Amino acid sequence: MIALTNHDYRQTWYNSGLMEKKYHIWTEGCQMNVADSQRVGSSLEHLGYTFTDKAEEADVIVLNTCVVRQSAEDKAIGRLHSLRPLKDQNPDLVINLMGCLVGVRGAEKLREKLPFVDVFSPPSDPGPLVSFLTQGEVRSLEDAETTRRFLMMDEDLILPAHERGQLVSAHVPVVYGCSHACTFCIIPFRRGVERSRPVGDIVGEVRSLVAQGVKEITLLGQIVDRYGTDVPDGPNLAGLLRVVHQVEGLERIRFLTSHPSYFDEDLMEAVAELPKVMPHIEVPIQAGDDTVLENMKRGYTQDDYRRLVEKIRKVIPDCSIATDIIVGFPGETEEQFAQTHNILAELRLDVAHLARYSSREGTVATRRMLDDVPEEEKMRRFRALEDLQEQIVGEINARYLGQTVEVLFEEKVKGRWKGRTPTNKLVFLEAGDDLRGKIIPVTITWTGPWSMQARLVQQLTPIRL
């Protein structure tokens, strides 16, 4: 028997005329979904499809969905129904519904409700779509399976073609799912239990991304600090950072999202000692009141969080810290909200991602608690934190004025280059030179709560040909 290489398998597809076929991906939600969509795009390009940003031109349309809030779910359903006329006009069009709307527990109900959808894929899994598209195209079922496996295992083409050489900062999932089950959260129901990816796969993917022009990698997990806890004898996140740090050509490493109960000293020390790991931590508090935290089943107290922030600041000097907060959780009183307001004022964190509690079907909070904080009160609390945070961040950022910082530039937006400091502050700069993917020292000339402006410290030396 003659062994076929990946190249041979790809050639089979190219020869079958699939090269002219196009795919379109619509992505909603978190960075995990963005990374998943890149992998789906890559898998489709292995099959000979090319990307189009116009759904009406596509032969395959992927909708990668989010359900973390009702509004996100409504948006996904709306988008899906807007595709129906395209399917009616072209019955060969393949529609793939993917992500948290599908979840990991089977799609029977959705199949009944949405008969015009051809393929349902769980989060982070391009497999069902690849299998669907390869059915009947290769010689036998065995060949189809082998092809599918090659496509899934092959790490030599991660980014879709239109992002290669363009994307400076990419996300790499390292642990899928979550086994924590906070009472408000739907993620564990939709993404399944925690599963860490093998180190070799992660490093292979990082190397491949770097070879395609990526300079910064963000390692992703719902609780990224729990990386490796499900793999006996495997490294933890600190160990993984040390391994990824050795990838040549990689300039910056970030990771998110941390959990206050699992962000340990070993990890802090790794961040402090590894120069490529950026001093920016995303660690949600969610609420500042111990009873609300208990009702959320977060597993820590306000004081635990305070001590964690103190420790991070001691071990990683000049570290920026981002948090998430939900206001209006069931039963949250005015006094309990005041605790959240107070701790945010006290800790003076760099970023606060704020959300109003939204009941999600199937969660413990929805089954057992009354969503009793009126919407207008949720909004009032949200605005109070928003105003507070705007003032705090404005003051923190003002300290950058006149400072020289290194910025990794990613893209040009409305004529200005956009980049980030090591602490993840957004910086804009006007320059004629091509700064994409470059780390350059700049002087900060203006600061605001949400961004900064800068000028080059010195003129860039033109490249001599």
Q: Does 188 bind ligand SF4 (CB under 6 A)?
A: yes
Site string for ligand SF4, 101-140 (x = CB under 6 A): ----------------------------------------
Chain positions 212 to 251 lying near ligand SF4, rule: CB under 6 A, are 222-223
- Is the Cβ–Cβ distance between 123 and 190 less than 8 Å? yes
Contacts of 366 (CB under 8 A, 6+ apart): 359, 360
What 3-state DSSP class applies to 351?
strand
Query: How far apart are the C-alpha atoms of 160 and 181, rounded to whole Å?
Result: 34
Interhelix angle 199-211/237-244, rounded to 10 degrees, is 30
> Phi first, then psi: what are they for 42, rounded to 5°?
-60, -45
**Interacting stretch for ligand SF4, rule CB under 6 A, among 11-19, 97-105, 181-189, 274-282?**
181-189
Greatest pairwise CA separation for the chain in angstroms: 74
Q: Which of 259, 280, 360, 378 binds ligand SF4 (CB under 6 A)?
A: 259
Q: Does 174 bind ligand SF4 (CB under 6 A)?
A: no
**Interacting stretch for ligand SF4, rule CB under 6 A, among 48-56, 185-193, 204-212, 245-253?**
185-193
Query: How far apart are the C-alpha atoms of 40 and 5, rounded to whole Å?
Result: 21
Q: Which of 19, 141, 153, 181 binds ligand SF4 (CB under 6 A)?
A: 181
Q: Which of 10, 180, 252, 420 binds ligand SF4 (CB under 6 A)?
A: 180
Query: How far apart are the C-alpha atoms of 262 and 272, rounded to whole Å?
Result: 17
What is the rounded end-to-end Cα distance, in angstroms, of the chain? 51
What are the structure tokens assigned to 16, written together?
Answer: 């079958």
How many residues bind ligand SF4 (CB under 6 A)? The answer is 10
- Is the Cβ–Cβ distance between 93 and 52 less than 8 Å? no
Q: Which of 83, 114, 187, 452 binds ligand SF4 (CB under 6 A)?
A: 187
Nearer to ligand SF4, 137 or 324 (CB): 324
Q: Which of 98, 178, 277, 429 binds ligand SF4 (CB under 6 A)?
A: 178
- Is the Cβ–Cβ distance between 88 and 75 less than 8 Å? no
What 3-state DSSP class applies to 415?
coil
Q: How far is the CB of 257 from ligand SF4 (least distance, A)?
A: 7
Q: Does 401 bind ligand SF4 (CB under 6 A)?
A: no
Q: How far is the CB of 31 from ligand SF4 (least distance, A)?
A: 13
Nearer to ligand SF4, 188 or 328 (CB): 188
* Sites of contact with ligand SF4 (CB under 6 A): 178, 180-182, 185, 187-188, 222-223, 259
